[in-house]
Structure 1
Amino acid sequence: MRTIAVFGAGKLGEVLLSGLLRAGWSAERLIATARRPERAEELSQRYGIRVVDNETALLEADVVTVAVKPQDAGALLADIGPKMPAGKLLVSLCAGLPTAFFAKHLPEGTPVVRVMTNTPALVDEAMTAISAGPHATAEHLAVAEEMFRPLGRTIRVPESQQDAVTALSGSGPAYFYYLVEAMTDAGILLGLPRQVAHDLIVQTAIGSAIMLRESGEHPVKLREAVTSPAGTTINAIRELEKHGVRAALLAALEAARDRARELAAQS
């Protein structure tokens, strides 16, 4: 089994580490780095993993995983880039940063795999998109898939689609939480207690998502099955269309994609 080092084991890095441990990875094969001593102690006590300095992690790991904030990636790469052993795989979890950004700091030919996952990784229901940089092979992609499969589902996409993935899936959970919040308020307006409204909406969302995944049906067909002539649902759909909800979603996702591109341009 490979040894994986997570550089910058903040929230996202911790999610990966805990998921690998739940999947049966040995704590001896997992290494983390942390800037703050108290964070290092916390990770060590909680997961039984070693928390070491950057140079030690770089030398001992088979896979270098960078999980720092995008604005901190430059400083980290300035430190580890010149020491990176030739041919060692780097997996990036830095939102918005293209593999070309890493190539500027790493030895020529270093394989880089770009990954975008989302917060349902905390319950092993993430959607993770994986893209190969110029020097990454199918074998490198398979290694990344092995790492992230315990957190949910994985999919391979061209790197040119990663900004769209960020907008749709990376930020996606926030849109659903926003919708649940709005529907909960609507339920209260209609006379339901908050907890009852919340429970109704959450279970409806879970059931609907499972039907989408397991039935293989187009969402339009599933929606039409709930929408009877002159019924309650079609009246609600009419109001959603009248208020431009579909157009607002399209605009929102375009705005998220554009912001991802801006962050990459600033790196």
Structure 2
Amino acid sequence: MASNLYFIGGGNMAEAIITAVRKHDDRYPVDHIYVEDISEARLSYLEKTYQVTPATPRDTPDNVDIAVIAVRPQDDVTGVATSIVNRFDQRTTSVVSIVAGYTIAQLERTLGGERRITRIIPNTLTTVDYGYSGVSSNQAAADAPDSVRKGLDAWLSTFGKPLHVEERLIDVITGFYPPNLVYHFIDAYVDAGVLAGLPRDISKAIALDTVIGGTELLKQRDVLPQVLLNINNSPGGVGITEAYTLNKTGFAAAIQSAVLAAVERTTKLGKEAQ
């Protein structure tokens, strides 16, 4: 049987999920996707592009299987949760939150502990079938009937690769996975080629191919990066010279500091949420 989804918030992450769900309709058939958003222009775009049904906070459509809280942490998350309580039957509707930093305990204060609640912070790479996402559920969701749990897992698998983890790890995964870090690296890598004298289009082509090819080789060999680094870093060679220069500039520490700062910011967003 096909399912019905209801999104409160129609931003970029909600759109990424909707894109993936539409792409994998064979994996998770959907009858209706309802979306409510404060922007009429945004709703019109989503309706035209993905054939969603625009909704308002007053709507109470029947047979909603999953209600998705897709607002920002700085928005009125408590108000959204209260709206769900007033409109959706906890016996039939599971709640999924994609709000960064906002915990299950915070949601349960409004939704109640008997409501099936799941947290997942999807990766924007879901649209290209990549991106791990940390998933955690409350006891009510864990105790749900098999059909409900299998349905939720099928839906989660349409947008990326769900990892069921302890909730405390969700913020760590969220801060760790954004592809922005890769984009920053590639941007610098391309500029380096230009600085060395390559035309930008050639530098970009080489950089992208090197990143993709290097990653694929690492996956095929199934070894730690240090193994391939040791192979490539011959005595007095180009590779070891590059490694020495990166070490002098604090390359590894810069990446690690950026990830830790992102994790800290994710956790802080939840504490600041309403």
Question: Is the TM-score greater than 0.5?
Answer: yes
Verify: 1:54 aligned to 2:57, yes or no: yes
The TM-score, its normalising length taken from structure 1, stands at 0.90
Unpaired segments of 5 or more residues in structure 1?
none
Partner deviation per Cα, 1:142-188 (whole Å, 9 max, x = no partner): 4443223223322111101111111111x3x1111111111111111
Q: Does 1:16 align with 2:11?
A: no
Alignment partner, residue 33 of structure 2: 30
Q: Determine whether 1:82 maps to 2:83.
A: no
**Structure 1 runs, 4 residues or longer, greater than 6 Å off:** none
What corresponds to 2:43 in structure 1? 40
Alignment of 1:137-156 (within 5 A): 137=142, 139=146, 142-156=150-164
Distance 1:68 1:214, change over 3 A: farther
The answer to whether the 8 A contact 2:60-2:87 is kept is: no
Sequence identity (%): 23
For the Cα contact (< 8 Å) 2:134–2:169, is it kept in 1? no
Question: Residue 108 in 1 paired to residue 113 in 2?
Answer: yes
**Rounded Cα–Cα distance in structure 1 between residues aligned with 2:255 and 2:184:** 12
SS in 1 for 2:134: strand
The alignment of Structure 1 onto Structure 2 pairs a total of residues equal to: 265
Which piece of structure 1 moves more, 57-66 or 248-257? Answer: 57-66
Unaligned residue ranges in structure 2 (runs of 5+): none
Moved more, 118-127 or 237-246: 118-127
User: Which of 152, 168, 182 lines up with 1:160 in the alignment?
Assistant: 168
| Of 15-24 and 140-149, the range deviating more from structure 2 | 140-149
Q: How many Å separate the matches in 2 of 1:215 and 1:141? A: 35
CA apart distance, 1:118: 1.5
Q: Cα 1:41–1:115, aligned 2, differ >3 Å: closer, same or farther? A: same
Q: Quick one: distance in 2 between partners of 1:108 and 1:59?
A: 23
Structure 1 match to 2:248 = 242
What is the DSSP-based 3-state SS (H/G/I as helix, E as strand, rest coil) of the residue aligned with 2:115? Answer: coil
Q: Give the structure-2-normalised TM-score.
A: 0.88
Rounded Cα–Cα distance in structure 2 between residues aligned with 1:160 and 1:19: 26
RMSD of the TM alignment (CA)? Answer: 2.1
Q: Does 1:208 align with 2:231?
A: no
Equivalent residue, structure 2, for 1:191: 197
Shifted more, 124-133 versus 92-101: the winner is 124-133
SS of residue in 2 equivalent to 1:86: coil
Larger displacement relative to structure 2 (70-79 or 176-185)? 70-79
1:71 to 67, 74, 83: 74
